[in-house]
Amino acid sequence: MRATEEVHVRAPGKVNLTLRAWRPREDGYHPLETVFQAVSLYEDVVARHAEDITLEIRGRGADSLPTDGRNLAVRAAELLRETAGGSAGAHLTLTKQVPVAAGMAGGSADAAATLIACDQLWGTGLGREELAELAAELGADVPFALTGMSAMGTGRGDLISPVMSRGQYHWVLAMQEEGLATPEVFDKLDELHRWEPGRPEPEEDELDTTRRPSGAVVSALLGADPLVLARALYNDLEVAAVSLRPELGDVLAATERAGALAAVVSGSGPTVAALTLDAPHAASVAGVMRSAEVASEVHVVTGPVPGARVLEHVGRR
Ligand code: C5P
């Protein structure tokens, strides 16, 4: 018998290549059609045996986050324990690279990594499908953080179907010091659209057939051509994010001046993701973006990358 002492899991942040949102359903969630791409900015969770479920946070934004039951990582461990009917505890050490409230699903990646880490640590043995169900209970973006790579999200964004993708895409991420709260961005979208809440699905007349960017993205990803992908980037939430944070208009304009192929606000923002041709082009765009001083940090990342996965597994003989 070999018990596991420590499990290290890594989960990626994401950008949304497209995002269409329609009037909210009765539960308040907006039906979405989005294409996610997981990018090389990671959240690391190391889980060790402990009496209770406890959390320690290091890295980007660590000081601004709660470490109790308000944290999605703690909630993930609690939900898994409840589901498995055990009484085990875990000490979680979370090291963050994905900024907080950035539109990159960092908190969702923390939850996904924790589900995998605690499942291994406790030997719960849930399959990927059961873990995906728990993930959807925790939040709309958590199932994608388990899957990673490129995928279409429908429903609340939690119904995931993988999308074939060829090639690596090089992104320049322009981040902001202050995050945006996702519910506020969706509320702003409602206000801008003045649509009535409560209808479950988009009506045919609301489906502007000239704007079905997901299909264009899905074929662009097969072609491995960033120039084609650039033309298909689209986000319905961008107008809401820019309305709440007008300086994002300057960030988008700066990406254009810096020579990016195209740029889009990621998810509910405020991170702006600018697509480039290749690694040297990304480095050049990032350099210009840094000197434009419109972002608190500028990072070059690549995608797609895999979803939450175990890196190390220290056993006890
Ligand atoms: O599921 P999650 O907790 O990540 O969602 C945060 C909030 O974002 C929701 O409470 C809701 O206000 C908004 N949201 C939405 N429609 C979605 C996803 C999120 O309105 N499809």
Give me the active site residues, please.
14, 141
- What values do phi and psi take at 38, rounded to 5? -80, 135
**Topology of the domain covering 3-164+310-316:** Ribosomal Protein S5; domain 2 (3.30.230)
Q: Give dist(CA 21, CA 188) in Å, integer.
A: 12
d(CA 206, CA 194): 13
Cβ atoms 45, 110 nearer than 8 A:
yes
Q: How many angstroms is it from 59 CA to the middle of ligand 1?
A: 25
Tell me, yes or no, if the two domains 3-164+310-316 and 169-303 fold the same way: no
- Ligand 1: does its nearest atom lie under 6 Å from the Cβ of 195? no
Task: Summarize pLDDT for 102-130 with one digit per residue, the tens.
Answer: 999 999 999 999 999 999 999 999 989 99
Question: Residue 182 CA: which ligand 1 atom is closest?
Answer: 8
198 is in an annotated binding site: no
Task: Write the pLDDT tens digit of every residue in 40-93.
Answer: 999 999 999 999 999 999 999 999 999 999 999 999 999 999 999 989 999 999
Ligand 1 pocket test target in 18, 29, 32, 158 with most atoms within 8 Å of CB = 29
Instruction: Tell me the domain boundaries of the chain.
Output: 3-164+310-316, 169-303
Closest-lying ligand 1 atom to the alpha carbon of residue 186: 20
Given the DSSP bridges, would you call strands 169-175 and 89-96 parallel, antiparallel or unpaired?
A: unpaired
End-to-end alpha carbon distance in the chain: 7
Q: Is 99 annotated as a binding residue?
A: yes
Class of domain 169-303: alpha beta
- What is the predicted pLDDT for the residue at 208? 52
For a substitution probing ligand 1, which of 30, 32, 108, 138 has the most ligand atoms within 8 Å of its CB? 30
In angstroms, the CA 184 to CA 176 distance is: 17
Apex 49 CA angle, 47 and 52, nearest 5: 100
- Indicate whether residue 135 lines ligand 1 (CB < 6 A): no
Each residue's pLDDT tens digit, 229-269: 999 999 999 999 999 999 999 999 999 999 999 999 999 99
**12-47, pLDDT tens digit by residue?**
999 999 999 998 988 999 999 999 999 999 999 999
Among 101, 117, 104, which Cα is nearest to 10's? 117
